Structure 1
Amino acid sequence: MKKEYIIYKLSESIKSTAKIDNELFTLFGVKRGLRNEDGTGVLVGLTKIGNVVGYERIPGGGLQPIPGKLFYRGLDVEDIAHAVMQERRFGFEEVAYLLLSGGLPDKEELASFRELINENMPLEQKVKMNILDLEGNNIMNILARSVLEMYTYDANPDDTSRDNLMRQSIELISKFPTIIAYAYNILRHATFGLSLHIRHPKEELSIAENFLYMLKKEYTDLEARTLDLLLIIHAEHGGGNNSTFTVRVTSSTGTDTYSSIAAGIGSLKGPLHGGANIQVVDMFNHLKEHIHDWTNVKEIDTYLNRILNKEAYNKTGLIYGIGHAVYTISDPRAILLKEMARELAKEKGREEEFNFLELLEERSIECFNKFKGAGGKKVCSNVDFYSGFVYEMIGLPQEIYTPLFAMSRIVGWSAHRIEELNFEGKRIIRPAYKNVLEVQEYIPISERI
């Protein structure tokens, strides 16, 4: 029997073996996707790290939409970001210290932490050579393999003591920018035949500046500060987002840091989690071509309604960058990024495109709400609506959009792993699945037709 036929037959069997009647989920009270019927997440844990707020409960059990808030260790991210933006400084390292330690550093502590980050940013020669040898055009995959490779060169890879966990976290936070920058430069050389540049990080630069230097050498101050803001707002988003929950689930088994973080990278790589900003960029480019007057509300609304009715663009009925699992009235990350996007668009001479994107945001929300009707969930733009456009203006290639997400979120992953392994009464995370298949009788192979 040919191998191709066996694969085909096994594949065809999935049609029946993977089918479960929808009514059974209701019958057994299963929270599909760990979601309650009102769309909120099932409460599965407690944390002191991040908090995502998009609604409040009202008497009677209903949900009241409220302006979105994101808190890092109890501090409003908007307050952190605005302080950094007003002082025209780099704040990602400060946020990393806050999320790892639970408190803000003073000037001396922050200076020492920055120095520690910069000391750990260069790659060991063996790791560097390994990246040069890795084949493939997906940098998230190369990042995951590089993280797993770091296990080999760690003298105490399986040690889960507090000191060792913190050391590993700092090394990962420090090395992610270098791995990603090197991986892309190798990709552009191998795939596009361009010159290969491997630049060593500089001790006096911030993480955002060093990344841009290693990636493309030349950058403006506004580009670096905008990237720094992107890193700040993506650093943490509560314990329930898929990649962070993946890190907590794997950490609860007691596995090593590198295996757990590689699992988180695998989760973030999925298009339903980390790749949405690329879809927004693709949709925006499509709309720029198919909407002739970028200021005409009627023309914009007509085309957006065609998208919602699955008649235009990719015919999925989705307007990418609109809607969020938690945020309802507003996504605070989108608001912050929009401020920097406006400023960056002026520097790059792309104000007309920014104004069009801003109008698309307004009209998309309005059209979506009308399309869903009065009983539909209230939606807002999410951070992905502007992030892809911002990456593009900075001059970053699409191949690193999702890796940049990981470069930031490694901070939140590390903080949650440390918390998971250090609270009293910790237990392996082990939810249940209800088996809905009846018991079968085993048939001897001689009697099978």
Structure 2
Amino acid sequence: MTVTEPTTPPVAAAASPPSRPAHRDPNVLRWLGAYASSAAGDSVYYLALSWAAVRGGSPAQAGLVLAVSAVPRALLMLAGGVIADRFGPRRVVISSDAVRCVVVLGVAAALALASPGLWVLGAVALVFGAVDALFMPAVGALPPRIAAPAQLARIQGMRGLAHRASVLVGAPLGGLAVALGGSATAFGAAGLLFALSLPLLLTLRIAPLPAATDEDAVRDAVRDAVGDAVRDAVPEKTTALRDLTDGLRYLRRHRVLGPLMIVVALSDLGFVGPLNVGLALLSDARGWGAAGIGWVLAGFGTGAGAASLLLTVRGHIPRAGAVMAWTITLGAASIAALAYVPQLPVAVALAVCVGLLAGLSGSLCGALTQTECDPAYLGRVTSVSTLFSLGFAPLSFPLTGAAVGLWGPAPVFTASAAICVLGGVYGLSVRSLRRAELPRTATRTQGLS
């Protein structure tokens, strides 16, 4: 039987009236502060790990240390979604940050007292990859448990702003820590940031799952949907594998979430290669240099930040499904155009458009997922979308690099944009997804009344 997370106390989500906007809800702000602190800790940690790996071995060895965390993250992501649903997202997030805090402070102490080999850094990277596989689905499953559905778009915008702020703070803080005391000091700073998130998470109030999503009732409904008439044969206790298959079956049969996952997979597959690998190669081919990469990335960050601010202020986007699909399609056109402009200022302007459109479509994808999904399945559904984004899509990096080397940036960027367009067009072609809406303030509120 699923372990239900204790509520504190069993009151409405966030214990706030339905009309209270997320940016004025103390419960949401505690969650946002914990998320920002944890994200800043991530930035400092990766900088410290990079520096320690480069100082302790060859460039190839350093690259291996930095890449090793992707393996457990990809392999365990779906299991992380099951765990988030079985034990509750709040409990999983708290445990994940606690483990990261202890591990990072431990490696900081080891580096301060001795000179451990690269195998220690590799082990830390493996642990972080495994913890990320638990942390990411749980973070995605938390917002519907702390706020009304009508506030989820605003929360996505606030989360985007918090992420941008954490990167702006975390990277310079990590660099300063390395300059002052080396990798040990930087790891220590990351550990303190993870520790700072814990009291905020511990005071977070979580709404109970609606009675209709009791595990036995959910399983019966799923069994009915696939034509199994023998409800009595369903065991009282379930296994993690059965939870996973039930979640995937639920996702496959959902009229909005199933198509939405296909849109996420296609848009990420076409988007991440050009922006993570192709951009550096494009800048080199155009003679823009490292400064050019920085300007283009700054333009992208500005656009993404503007999209987050728009959602934070408005809190509701009409025709969310259609807007999401159109922004993916138009953003893809901007990605393709990047490869055809020789002037850096024009490329920066296009990058602002890409950031704005991609930021808006990504936030709407997240808000629609959290709104449409039964909270009992949200961890598993989030793990699937995250697996596409952080597990499968990065596999395109070496292919993108090799393709640019063979054919140049223009055809590769165009092909990648075509994959994004395919996702947007598919989203527009599925009526249930195209007509999907985000709830307004006076709609169902999971216990808020």
TM-score by length of 2: 0.25
| Rg larger for | 1
Higher strand fraction (1 or 2): 1
Q: Which has the higher contact order (CA 8 A, sep 6+)?
A: 2
TM-score by length of 1: 0.25
